[in-house]
Amino acid sequence: MIELTLKDMTCGHCVRTVTQTLQKLDPQAQVEIDLPSQRVRIETQQPLEAVRQALAEEGYPAS
C-alpha cells in the first residue's frame, strides 16, 4: 500500500485525473482518495517511484 499527500489535488476534477492516471499506470490498481486531507492510498504492483513520476507528470507532485 502506497500513501501519498497531493497538495495540488483540490477538487473533483483533480480526483478523476489522479484516479485515471493511476489506473492507466496499473489497470488493477485500487485507489482510495480523501480529498479534504489530500491523501491518496494506492494498492498497486507498480514501484513507488513510478507512481510518483506518473502523478508528477500530470501536475500532482507528491509531498
**Is residue 57 classed as helix, strand or coil in its secondary structure?**
helix
The C-alpha cell 485515471 sits at 20
Concatenated DSSP letters for 2-54? EEEE-TT--SHHHHHHHHHHHHHH-TT-EEEEETTTTEEEEE-SS-HHHHHHH
pLDDT tens by residue, 3-61:
999 999 999 999 999 999 999 999 999 999 999 999 999 999 999 999 999 999 999 99
The pTM of the full predicted model, rounded to 2 decimals, is 0.91
